[in-house]
Structure 1
């Protein structure tokens, strides 16, 4: 035991837990959220109470919740992972019958003044349950077909419910997040290779079926694909959002037009400028430098989280941390790719920057789980 470790162990337990926090992640999350506050103030035209102030209050509550979750021993979260999954799944089922409808989708449950999106809870509880499952399962059985089917069912069940809402973006994140945990747990490459091959074959079959008697998707769905590949083919309807986003991204140039000087957002050309497309406002006002700086903040957060997970000798804690860190990566990677036109628009917000209550709160609680794993890891 080193002199420093000895001195840390002599301080009271509560203070020791504070010292053991993954502080670089706390600082990075606060920096990312602060960027969000600035951008929400900008897109509101200099009004603090429209979006920025409520977001600040939510972040403060979420940050406090993160610390509370962090100080609870990791074995507790392992023991409640199955319960968390069941509750999240039941809430998803409840959405089918009692869910609130907004913008053509049924994704929320009204709980008094609180509007909860259960699919956000499922993203984290799914990772927790899969980590607990592989912590319990003997390593020799990880790649056996029967023991692979169980986690596949656990992933597909909520994914199907989310697709019915409809919410393609969250469904993709559930599939990808579950797959990452399975991969990190040691599931054979052959399973992933088979799935990728089947997806490629399905995409090929869809395009080959166009105009035939056995056409696999509807004509309007093919039109959406055409619009994604060439937004200019329908600039005033289906291609409008992505074209305006690309104009904002390109007009920012190297250093941007200046804070609160973005014309696309100020003149309301940008769709959903305070939620899904807020990254384009950032790129317009601060240019490549600002956009790249935010990307680096995200990348460093993922790096510190994954390093913590990979170095953790507790299997549940390690898999859960890797799963949450990878899911966080998928959040911002999908959003940024979406607004740049690299993938279809699927409605995924930019984490900690886009305006929203449920997503921010649950994400901070999820990082509380990674902090609990970091604090209580074997030393």
Structure 2
């Protein structure tokens, strides 16, 4: 059989064949540490969200432009964070966590009031933001760093340490009051713990503890928070008061039918029956104007993002990266589930926006920063594996 050798170069080394266009594209994405599939899905979601927001805001173009600019800033933050290695993220875990806790303390002391809650810090003439959003990333970052230094699966001693790390910021957020965000911040840490491999005996014990703590939680809830739970159970008892929001949102969802009423032609939203239609209840606008088909299209995009994120998390080489990436993408899934659940009436209203669709700046930056961490873990893993 004839032997085919590569031609020799100037220095006696085999000359490599020209790299294909696909190889060059892969090399480019590796150099900028971004995942093209995940980035493409996020851009598609954000563009679709702006289309829905234009209708939900009453065709307010200024609001749409402002949201687009916020998306631009969030994408920049994502691209910057993606450049850092998992080792750098690990070193930053404790400082970021401590800064987040200090800002929550600052909110408690001198936070800005809005809609009956003290949740914001204001730098006059510069920015107004919610430090609790930062904890959605700082919490899983700190808990995964803590767990990765200890034997896994974690035992009760490790869980007590995690409980302290989780309890301090969660209690500060709940005092603002913002029970919805407090639960989501706690969930981000709990996912990291579950992914570390708890035994069923410990999981059962924790479930019993949580169930036993529910009466205490009920007693310490604010009146409006208890009213939300009661309204969830029976919204028709106060249709013009506490039950108004959920009744209008479910009416909007149901009236959309299979194909919807058409973009800009929703009655509940355009006639302003639907409250908070550009933020927490924007999914009701989506369902009314685009129908079940439109809702399913958005759910498919979200599902593809979650699946891609889980695949990236599964390729992580070290425990810290695997736990952190997994907790971030599962927390993203919980945001979607809770928002759609509360708007459709299967969960109490807790004030959680629909990711990258609802109007808001801080939440968009936080979400895309999390995806930046996810891409950083995956892209640096690929470079190390060469």
Answer whether TM exceeds 0.5 for this pair. yes
Cα distance in 2 for residues equivalent to 1:220 and 1:11:
57
Aligned positions, number: 365
Cα distance in 1 for residues equivalent to 2:174 and 2:226:
19
- Aligned residues: CA RMSD: 2.6
Cα distance in 2 for residues equivalent to 1:192 and 1:94:
35
Q: Tell me whether 1:34 sits opposite 2:30 in the alignment.
A: no
Q: How does 1:69-148 map to 2 (within 5 A)?
A: 69-112=81-124, 113-139=126-152, 142-148=153-159
Q: Does the aligned pair in 2 maintain the 1:241–1:271 contact within 8 Å?
A: yes
Q: Does the aligned pair in 2 maintain the 1:256–1:284 contact within 8 Å?
A: yes
> What SS does the aligned partner of 2:355 have?
coil
> What SS does the aligned partner of 2:195 have?
helix
Which of 353, 359, 375 is the aligned partner of 1:355? 359
Cα distance in 2 for residues equivalent to 1:227 and 1:44:
26
Q: Which has the larger radius of gyration?
A: 2
Cα distance in 2 for residues equivalent to 1:12 and 1:28:
18
Shift of 1:191: 2.5
> What SS does the aligned partner of 1:354 have?
coil
Q: Tell me whether 1:173 sits opposite 2:177 in the alignment.
A: no
TM-score by length of 1: 0.90
Which of 79, 91, 97 is the aligned partner of 1:67? 79
Which of 4, 7, 17 is the aligned partner of 2:30? 17
Q: How does 1:185-224 map to 2 (within 5 A)?
A: 185-201=196-212, 203=214, 224=228
Shift of 1:220: 7.6
- What is the aligned partner in structure 1 of residue 174 from structure 2? 163
TM-score by length of 2: 0.88
> What SS does the aligned partner of 1:376 have?
helix
Q: Tell me whether 1:367 sits opposite 2:367 in the alignment.
A: no
Which of 270, 273, 282 is the aligned partner of 2:274? 270
Cα distance in 2 for residues equivalent to 1:52 and 1:216:
39
- What is the aligned partner in structure 2 of residue 294 from structure 1? 298
> What SS does the aligned partner of 1:101 have?
strand
Cα distance in 2 for residues equivalent to 1:360 and 1:294:
17
Q: Tell me whether 1:152 sits opposite 2:163 in the alignment.
A: yes
Shift of 1:271: 0.6
- What is the aligned partner in structure 2 of residue 52 from structure 1? 64
Shift of 1:29: 0.9
Q: Do the aligned partners of residues 20 and 226 (structure 1) sit closer, same or farther apart at CA in structure 2, a change above 3 Å counting? A: closer
- What is the aligned partner in structure 1 of residue 7 from structure 2? none
Which of 243, 246, 249 is the aligned partner of 1:242? 246
Shift of 1:217: 7.8
Cα distance in 1 for residues equivalent to 2:270 and 2:50:
17
Q: Does the aligned pair in 2 maintain the 1:17–1:71 contact within 8 Å?
A: no
Shift of 1:236: 0.5
Cα distance in 1 for residues equivalent to 2:258 and 2:25:
50
Q: Does the aligned pair in 2 maintain the 1:127–1:177 contact within 8 Å?
A: yes
Cα distance in 1 for residues equivalent to 2:221 and 2:326:
36
Which of 310, 325, 328 is the aligned partner of 2:329? 325
Q: Do the aligned partners of residues 351 and 268 (structure 1) sit closer, same or farther apart at CA in structure 2, a change above 3 Å counting? A: same
Shift of 1:159: 0.7
Give the unaligned 5+ runs of structure 1.
210-214
After the TM superposition, which parts of structure 1 deviate over 3 Å for at least 4 consecutive aligned residues? 10-16, 198-203, 215-226
